Amino acid sequence: MNPTSAAVRAGVRRGVIELRNTFTNGQDLWNYFFPTAVLLVTMFFMRGATVPGTDFSLGARTLPSALGMGLAFGGLLGLAQQLIVDREDGTLLRAKATPNGMLGYLIGKLVLISTVSLIGLVLQLTPSLFFLDGLRLTDAGAWLTLAWLVPFGLVAMLPLGAVIGSLIENPRNMGLVVLPIFGLIALSGIFYPINGYPGWLQAVAQVFPIYWLGLGMRSALLPDSLAAVELGGSWRHLETLGVLGLWGVLGLTLAPVVLRRMARRESGSRVAARREKAMQRVV
């Protein structure tokens, strides 16, 4: 077995072990289930409202968008937070000291974050079927759309998360990333159609993958008649595939470069300095 294959196999095993461990950690379980509970409660109270100009439930229309937001948020910030924390406690330095350790480390994190994102998707979608009407999960076309949308969405978001995590050394600086992402979510039609926004805001929203993940989820789970309230009056599958693919190529191009640069800069003295600062914050 060549070294790269060994590192990939080790990374997959690492991801499975970390996934198993995360479901025995109370804080991790809270982080998974609390946002899901908040979303489901919100959708429950929105079920009586309707999309303007139709009699379709606004809650049912919003849920697919929120699922797309969850994939984007989990893939982007989930991996970034893992890299920042592991850099601070020396995990990345230990991975760097192992042959092909950084590759194995990254594969493990991709397995962990991807699986957690998919589990979150199922946890949010399944209970919603009992109180939201109009979702078309019995349609084979819905599953075909999800089959290409979810992988493309994760490929678009996970490398960007790796880039962000490589550039930020202090966990307290994550707010510099979280706030702009919340701004993009507000622009991206997750909770309300963007048709009423000024043209320049619509253009900004369509540059980023969050809008397209939401649109793709709506195309998979909502009736075709709801496409009329979207920009252009259609689901724009080709555009969704293209934008997500472009972001995936951009992320996969940048991530290895930034990760290699970060790994070269890691040293025992830098880890010790970060640990000392962390202890000062605790004290």
Please check the confidence at residue 269 and state whether its pLDDT lies above 80: no
Q: Using the predicted structure, report yes or no on whether residue 170 has a pLDDT greater than 90.
A: no
- The pLDDT confidence band at residue 278, using thresholds 50, 70 and 90, is low
**51 and 152 in contact (C-beta within 8 Å)?**
no
Q: Which of 9-13, 122-126, 217-221, 274-278 has the lowest mean pLDDT?
A: 274-278
Q: Is the pLDDT of residue 282 over 70?
A: no
pLDDT for the residue 199: 86
Q: What is the tens place of the pLDDT at every residue in 45-89?
A: 888 888 777 788 888 888 898 898 888 888 888 888 888 888 877
Q: How confident is the model at residue 216 (pLDDT cuts 50, 70, 90)?
A: very high
* Nearest Cα residue to 82 out of 121, 35, 114, 34: 114
pLDDT number for residue 240? 94
Mean predicted lDDT score pLDDT of the chain: 85
What pLDDT does residue 1 have? 60
The pLDDT value recorded for residue 135 is 86
What is the pLDDT at residue 243? 94
Band (43; pLDDT cuts 50, 70, 90): confident
Considering only residues 97 and 213, tell me which one the structure prediction assigns the higher pLDDT.
213
| Direct distance between the N- and C-terminal alpha carbons of the chain, in angstroms, rounded to an integer | 48
Distance CA 196, CA 193 (A): 7
- pLDDT tens, position by position, 14-27: 999 999 998 888 88
pLDDT in tens, 175-215: 778 888 888 888 888 877 788 788 888 999 999 999 999 99
Where does the pLDDT of residue 271 fall: very low under 50, low under 70, confident under 90, or very high at 90 and above?
low
pLDDT at 280 over 70: no
Residue 16's pLDDT is 92
CA-CA distance, 155 to 130, in Å (whole number)? Answer: 31
pLDDT value at 159 more than 60: yes
Q: What is the mean pLDDT of residues 134-148?
A: 87
- pLDDT of 248 reads 92
Q: What is the pLDDT of residues 229-252, one digit of tens each?
A: 888 888 999 999 999 999 999 988
